[in-house]
Amino acid sequence: MEVIATHIGYFGLVGATITIFALTIIMVIRQVAEGVDFLAAIRKLLHYFIIGVAIVVMAIPEGLPLAVTLSLAFSVKKMLKDKNLVR
């Protein structure tokens, strides 16, 4: 179960990193096209960082019930194989 929870955490972290990176690239392209406003750029980068943190914070608790369910499913499957499942 720890392995599954760890993978879910990594998936959330990678998703947040990709989101921040994509939003930053879009912002840089717009800043180059419209003109550079450093204060607005810093505010947007901070906002994008907050979005990334929110993604990580949401991914980990949402993934834990999934990890528990998968763990129980594997245990039931093993019990069926051993003919040890009681209803």
Q: Identify whether the C-beta of residue 67 lies closer than 8 Å to the C-beta of residue 13.
A: no
Average pLDDT score over residue span 51-78: 81
pLDDT of residue 74: 85
Question: pLDDT by residue (tens digit) across 24-39?
Answer: 999 999 888 888 888 8
The confidence score (pLDDT) of residue 1 equals 64
Confidence band for 77, pLDDT divided at 50, 70 and 90: confident
* pLDDT over threshold 70, residue 11: yes
Question: What's the whole-number average pLDDT of the chain?
Answer: 84
- Give the domain ranges of the chain: 2-81
Question: Phi and psi (nearest 5°) for 84?
Answer: -125, 10
Token readout for 83 is 């003919």
Q: Do 76 and 14 meet the contact criterion of CB atoms below 8 Å apart?
A: no
